[in-house]
Structure 1
């Protein structure tokens, strides 16, 4: 049997947002490698096997998955959200680049998923309606001064910014410092969306101005979207506000 490896995005957590392509790829695989909470989302058959590992073991997980695929297994590496956004697809590619030639000859495919910033944006309105970027606040694989430079450059260029990996027990201070950097560039009224567990039972979506943004409102299940100076908030009596970024910039209209 010829082995293969598929990297699968499971979406933001709601079963309704797992794509049909991902569902088919899950049904076809024999072995599943991933962070345990993501594997817990799967209902596997008796002939399917799970191989759980810690969230910070991406390269070791990728190598183990590639070895299983080379041995002839049909392997799935699973990620929450989209596997290509701060997730396992890049780790698998890194492992292949530095690994044996046999890994390069495998049939490797990536199945996209709904990433966290899209789920949070959908709950809030349309904050990503114009140019935007995504930045991870984790400094595990890059220096913090680079994060600060990118935050200030993106805010100064007028991008809406989605923040991934905003805070953790091991990184308790970075989000507060990120807000300080953004306050140096953006108006105090720039809307900030804290989106936790979007589309899941524990969902919490909060909107406030940058001046009032408090790091304690976030955890690792939170994706934060910071609006540009042109992002608007539509208040609605008795309903959650709608946050959107106009399709035009610089005062232009169509």
Structure 2
């Protein structure tokens, strides 16, 4: 019996962000694996078993799910947002590459979801309307000096930048350092969007100029978008502003 593993993106928040394809994949799975808070967002189905694990156990979780699927089970690995953006799809494929040959023979599918930066961008307007990139500020899997280099070069190149994993209890200083780097490249008025839990009941969005951005405005439930020098804020009386990056850009230099 051939096993199957589907890596499913749940989107950024409640079930209105779950795609029909993702909902169908979850409904037909016999077994679910995932980080416990993400599994809690999936409605329970009769006869379905669940295996929750901690956030820092991605490879172990991937290996366990692959081994379960290799027994012939229909397994779904749940992931917040999009599973291919700083999430579980890469961990699953990494485990397959280093694992036994039987894992390569499995039916593997990655089901996309709405990632956090897209939800925050939609809430703000259209800040990703021109070239952009995403950078994780976590240095768990890469050195901090590489993070700094990428942040600086991205800003110098004129990219709008989305920050994932901006702060944690173990890394309270890194976001402030990143803002200082950006202030050395970008105008002080560059809009910075703090999207907290966008897509959930406690969502909130704050738009502040880079010169006023502080690390205590974010937590691990926050995705941050930093505009480029081209990004504009359209003020509206009595209504939230609209932030957008024009579709065209000036020549370098």
TM superposition score category, shorter chain reference: over 0.9
Map of 2:84 onto structure 1: 84
CA contact (8 A) 2:151 2:182 kept: yes
| TM-score, normalised via structure 2 length | 0.98
Q: Structure 2: any 5+ residue segments left out of the alignment?
A: none
Give the structure 2 partner of residue 157 of structure 1.
157
SS in 2 for 1:188: coil
Rounded to whole Å, the distance in 2 between the matches of 1:4 and 1:79 is 17
SS in 2 for 1:47: coil
Structure 1 residue 44 displacement after superposition: 1.6
Q: Which residue of 2 aligns with 1:15?
A: 15
Match of 1:177 in 2: 177
Residue of structure 2 in register with 1:222 after alignment: 222
Q: Deviations over 1:187-207 (max 9, x none)?
A: 100000000111211011000
Q: Identify the residue that residue 70 of structure 2 maps to in structure 1.
A: 70
* SS of aligned partner of 2:147: helix
How many Å apart are 1:46 and its aligned residue?
A: 2.3
How far apart in 2 are the matches of 1:24 and 1:104? 24
Could you tell me whether the CA contact under 8 Å between 2:26 and 2:76 is conserved in 1? Answer: yes
SS, match of residue 82 in structure 1 = coil
Alignment of 1:24-103 (within 5 A): 24-103=24-103
Once the two structures are superposed, the pairs formed by residues 182-193 of structure 1 within 5 Å of their partners are 182-193=182-193
Q: Residues of 1 paired with 2:170 and 2:47: CA distance? A: 38
Q: What SS does structure 2 have at the residue aligned with 1:89?
A: helix
Say how many residue pairs are matched: 251
Provide the aligned C-alpha RMSD in A: 0.7
Counterpart for residue 243 of structure 2: 243
Q: How does 1:177-216 map to 2 (within 5 A)?
A: 177-216=177-216
Q: CA deviation at 1:109?
A: 0.4
- Measured in 2, the distance between the counterparts of 1:199 and 1:31 equals 26
In the superposition, the TM-score normalised over structure 1's length comes to 0.98
How far, CA to CA, are the matches of 1:71 and 1:219 in structure 2?
40
Query: By how many angstroms is 1:84 displaced?
Result: 0.1
Q: Is the 8 A contact 2:14 2:41 kept in 1?
A: no
- Between the aligned partners of 1:85 and 1:23, the Cα distance in structure 2 is 19
Q: CA contact under 8 A between 2:192 and 2:213: conserved in structure 1?
A: yes
- Could you tell me which residue of structure 1 aligns to residue 109 of structure 2? 109
* 1:115-154 matched pairs, under 5 angstroms: 115-154=115-154
Q: Aligned partners of 2:174 and 2:152: how far apart in 1? A: 14
- Tell me, in whole angstroms, the C-alpha distance in 2 between the residues paired with 1:129 and 1:175: 24
